[in-house]
Chain A
Amino acid sequence: MSKNWWKVLASVFVLYSVVAGLLFKVPTLPILHESIRNLYYHVPMWFAMVVIYSVAVYYSIRYLQTGDENHDLVAVEAVNTGLVFGLVGLASGMVWANYTWGAPWPNDPKLNSAAIATLLYFAYTVLRSSLDEEQKRAKIAAIYNIFAYPIMVVLLFVLPRLTDSLHPGNGGNPGFGAYDLDSNMRFVFYPAVLGWIGIAVWIVNIRYRIRKIENKRNQI
């Protein structure tokens, strides 16, 4: 049980964010109204996605260093899970944008960047499926993954800051700090982010273990 403490912690954080996110006081802002509470649910998806893509890159680097097949398996499953979180983040963002910015796909650099970053990782999966030989596939996929990662960082964190954006913190818009001057939101937001990162890592962990068993079975 002691090995599972982080899973329990992540679960508690997520459950706490569900309750507190709905009940606690939020700043009263025009346009956003109550929908500001989406911050607790929509934004953690992106945090979780970026964290597990970073995990994928870490294991890709480890794979190139050691040639251990298991590292490649972690990288694949991290990318697969990251894609799920990215798609959920995009979808939830579209719903939110539809009611606050007036359109599901306002021409916003952060949206476009997120969509392109998702395409980047779809390209990774296509690259993998185009190769048959296992070691070669692992190696080339790892190389592409490492090559793509800095580009994704530029897409998600640099480009939106250069252009006008509807998202807070970009292109002259006030940062996240302006929305929680009373800092009450931090009490919910940070646990929510940590909790979802924990859940994402947990899912990666489960998928990796399944993959490992499948892999073993295929080899026999």
Chain B
Amino acid sequence: MKLFAQIKHLLYKEILLEWRSKYAFNGILLYVVSTVFVCYLSFRSTPPLVWNALFWIILLFAAINAIAKSFMQESKGRLLYYYQIASPQAIIIAKIIYNALLMTLMSAVALVVYSIVFQNNVGDWLLYALAVLIGAISFSSVFTMISAIASKANNNGTLMAILSFPVIIPVIILIIKLSKNAMDGLDRSVSWDEIGVLTAINFIVVTVSLLLFPYLWRD
């Protein structure tokens, strides 16, 4: 129970901090919208395959930029303070949940803007939205741990990209396939495999993060 209380407090604090400055949210929002617009200006109209891939690439970079900050922006003093009041598990779970919320919001906005600017036919909007939701959650669960690792290693932005790309590629492959199924309006039973594997990956990644973060935290 204590863990849940801690998670709730930390989550509340993250959201409050974000609400006050709105820095991350506005920054990423601007980033996504301007990238979508740049893509629109350079492509005008795209075949469905490119439309889908482009959307995920935009989201991927937005996610890296957003989540890389989650540990790097914390000052040393504040980290020390957390160390005393909360268990490491609570911290990583709170971060993952917060990032997942942020990413869900971001990708929802991105999806709306993207589909208004770029005309395209999506066969099964519900499944596509589900793919975007799963994508947002997967990105945040994978990147949160990587950003924790990268923040311990000299706060290096390049390192974050190097470490996270090979890890995120299997997720991206599956998500692109899932959302392509949604675009083609295939029967939903076709997509169960991808949804299952993505859920399994998320589950494994969160479990491994929970097991490993205490070691990373203890310094």
Contact = CB atoms under 8 A, between A and B. Distances in A.
Contacts of A91: none
B154 A148 contact: no
B116 interface: no
A147 B145 contact: yes
Q: Which of A113, A136, A154 has the most CB of B within 10 A?
A: A154
B159 A154 contact: no
Contacts, number: 80
A148 B167 contact: yes
B201 interface: yes
Query: Chain B, interface size: which category?
Result: 20 to 34
A178 interface: no
Contacts of B201: 151, 154
B208 A146 contact: yes
Chain A interface size range: 20 to 34
B205 A150 contact: yes
A39 interface: no
B16 interface: no
Given A119-B166, A154-B201, A140 B152 contact: yes
B153 A64 contact: no
B204 interface: yes
B162 interface: yes
B123 interface: no
Contacts of A130: 153-154, 156, 159
Interface stretch (A75-83, A99-107, A120-128): A120-128
A117 B170 CA distance: 10
A159 interface: yes
B165 A140 contact: no
Contacts of A131: 153-154
Contact of A116 (B146, B154, B169): B169
A143 B173 contact: no
Contacts of A127: 149, 153, 159, 162-163
A47 interface: no
Contacts of A116: 166, 169-170
A136 B166 CA distance: 23
A17 B156 CA distance: 47
Nearest to B219: A136
Contacts of A120: 166-167
A158 interface: yes
B212 A147 contact: yes
Nearest to B173: A159
B153 A140 contact: yes
Interface in B130-170: 145-146, 149, 152-154, 156, 159, 162-163, 165-167, 169-170
Residue among B145, B146, B162 with max Cβ neighbours from chain A (10 Å): B162
Interface in B35-82: none
Nearest to B163: A123
A155 B201 CA distance: 11
Contacts of A123: 162-163, 165-166
Given A119-B165, A151-B205, 6 more contacts: A127-B149, A140-B153, A143-B212, A147-B145, A147-B208, A150-B208
Interface of B: 145-146, 149, 152-154, 156, 159, 162-163, 165-167, 169-170, 173-174, 177, 193-194, 197, 200-201, 204-205, 208-209, 212, 215-216
Interface of A: 64, 113, 116-117, 119-120, 123, 126-127, 130-131, 136, 139-140, 142-144, 146-148, 150-151, 154-155, 158-159, 162-163
26 contacts: A64-B212, A117-B166, A120-B167, A123-B162, A123-B163, A123-B165, A126-B159, A127-B153, A130-B153, A140-B149, A144-B163, A147-B145, A147-B209, A147-B212, A148-B167, A150-B205, A150-B208, A151-B170, A154-B170, A154-B200, A154-B201, A155-B169, A159-B170, A159-B173, A162-B177, A162-B193
